[in-house]
Amino acid sequence: MKNRVVITGLSAITPLGTGVEKYWQGLLEGKSGIDTIKSFDVSNFATQIAGEVKDFDAKDYLDRKEARRMDRFTQFAVAGSTMAVEDAGLKLDTIDKTRMGVVLGTGVGGMDTLEDTARLLHEKGPNRVSPFFVPMMIANMAAGQAAIALGAQGPNTTVVTACASATNAIGDAFKVIQRGDADIMVTGGTEAAIVPLALAGFCSMRALSTRNDDPQKASRPFDKERDGFVMGEGAGLLVLENLEHALKRGAKIYAEVLGHGATADAHHITAPAPGGVGAARAIRDAINDAGLRPEDIDYINAHGTSTELNDKYETMAIKEVFADHAKKLAISSTKSMTGHLLGAAGGIEMVAAALSVQNDIVPPTINYENPDPECDLDYVPNKAKNMTVRYAMSNSFGFGGQNATVLIGKYEA
């Protein structure tokens, strides 16, 4: 018999603010966290805007010396994991830490450290490269450092599936508990890739919005005038727990995790498969895994990147799976407010989905002003929507054609 898995803790470090309350209120109010990049000179870049985290100070969460030995993406992960565990009301000295694990997703790992160290090597030679360079840069160190901070000795893995990373990580953590390999898993995603090298790379691909004169209007998923995605940074982490374990300690429960779907397009390194066929299979697999029917679903937190093909093909995928029910679904892309957090996107988006299930309210897709005839569903335009959310899902689709969906629902005894 499979174990039931519930969400008992949440944390968010986002362009809308650090902390779940700031993030959730920002979403419901339709605020944008996107602005001109302040962390480096962008005057020579075609795109000069992003969703930067503005209110995070690592020293509020970490020892100053330890913080200096972590890349920003790891700082986000360690801070986020401790906040999520605190939100879950877990007393770490009373649990079996061999039954607690960490699965985190990240798209690129310590790119800031890599870029800075490459510059140092070029300018001053190999003897000036820090012995902490490798353990600061490698992608698995966010999960590793989070486990060290928590003392979590159970399964510890890192998922790197581009923009599907965090959603796949949550799905993997769900399966770990479901099959009985752990009682508690800290999961989600972290990313801090707003650095010159990454920005230049995405600019060269012409993947980013160039609406530099109006940053807050730049991310406009499903809108006909969309012209590319906007980079974001941050972390969204969740505590998943075996239901029996959670009930025994009287934990509050946000939602129940019910299904996970993961597929490959096997089509192209960056473009989604025509018609969103790979995405449709991931959505369908999550519904089947949960033992539900398409018409049971109320809300989808869409991948919705604000790029031409993604938004069109995701809409087609939803229509393919849900048929007539597609028109009755509430669908929103919170990337309209946060930008695209790459490998961390699915983390903060699952936090939003869990809060939607808990509170029966769906955040909007802002900047939806010019309907696209090819994107003709209910994207909850510009204003949050009060509605019963019994079942919700979060979609994430990444470069390399990697697709992931996680389905959650209201907890019922």
Task: Kindly report the CATH number assigned to the domain that includes residue 160.
Answer: 3.40.47.10
Q: Is residue 296 part of a domain?
A: yes
Backbone angles phi, psi at 397, to 5 degrees: -130, 130
Q: Is residue 406 part of a domain?
A: no
Distance CA(262)–CA(123), nearest Å, equals 44
Handedness of CA 6, 391, 228, 212 (dihedral sign): negative
Provide the phi-psi class of 268: left if phi over 0, else alpha when psi is between -120 and 50, else beta: beta
Residue-level pLDDT at 401: 95
The closest alpha carbon to 283, from 254, 337, 319, belongs to 319
Q: Is residue 2 part of a domain?
A: yes
Query: What would the two tokens of residue 230 be?
Result: 């906007």
Distance CA(317)–CA(330), nearest Å, equals 15
| DSSP character at residue 360 | T
Distance CA(312)–CA(315), nearest Å, equals 5
Place of tokens 């397009």: 265
Q: Is residue 409 part of a domain?
A: no
> How many domains does the chain fold into?
1
Domain containing 226 equals 1-400
H helices present in 9-140, as ranges: 20-28, 64-68, 72-87, 111-124, 133-137
Distance CA(401)–CA(270), nearest Å, equals 7
Of residues 163, 203, 245, 375, which has the active-site annotation? 163
Residue 340 is among the residues annotated as catalytic for this protein: yes
Q: Is residue 410 part of a domain?
A: no
Dihedral angle computed from the Cα positions of residues 321, 326, 328 and 333, in that order, rounded to the nearest 10 degrees = 100
Residue-level pLDDT at 369: 97
The closest alpha carbon to 104, from 412, 379, 344, belongs to 344
Distance CA(405)–CA(167), nearest Å, equals 7
Backbone angles phi, psi at 198, to 5 degrees: -65, -45
Distance between first and last Cα of the chain: 17
3-state secondary structure (DSSP) of residue 342: helix
Beta strands in 117-199 (DSSP E): 156-159, 184-191
- Which contiguous run of DSSP H or E holds residue 303? none
The closest alpha carbon to 9, from 240, 177, 183, belongs to 240
Asked if residue 277 lies in contact with residue 308, where contact means CB atoms within 8 angstroms, the answer is no
Residues of the chain with pLDDT under 70: none
Q: Is residue 16 part of a domain?
A: yes
Cα dist from 254 to 257, 355, 357, 409, 411, whole Å: 10, 7, 8, 9, 8
Of residues 203, 245, 260, 340, which has the active-site annotation? 340
- Which contiguous run of DSSP H or E holds residue 339? none
Q: Is residue 405 part of a domain?
A: no
pTM value is 0.98
Place of tokens 């989070």: 146
Residues linked to residue 7 through DSSP beta bridges, in sequence order: 240, 255
The closest alpha carbon to 143, from 353, 344, 321, 289, belongs to 344
Residues linked to residue 377 through DSSP beta bridges, in sequence order: none
Residue-level pLDDT at 169: 98
Asked if residue 226 lies in contact with residue 47, where contact means CB atoms within 8 angstroms, the answer is no
Of residues 260, 303, 325, 375, which has the active-site annotation? 303
Residue-level pLDDT at 1: 84
Residue 163 is among the residues annotated as catalytic for this protein: yes
Residue 325 is among the residues annotated as catalytic for this protein: no
- Which contiguous run of DSSP H or E holds residue 236? strand 234-242
Q: Is residue 407 part of a domain?
A: no
Residues linked to residue 241 through DSSP beta bridges, in sequence order: 6, 184
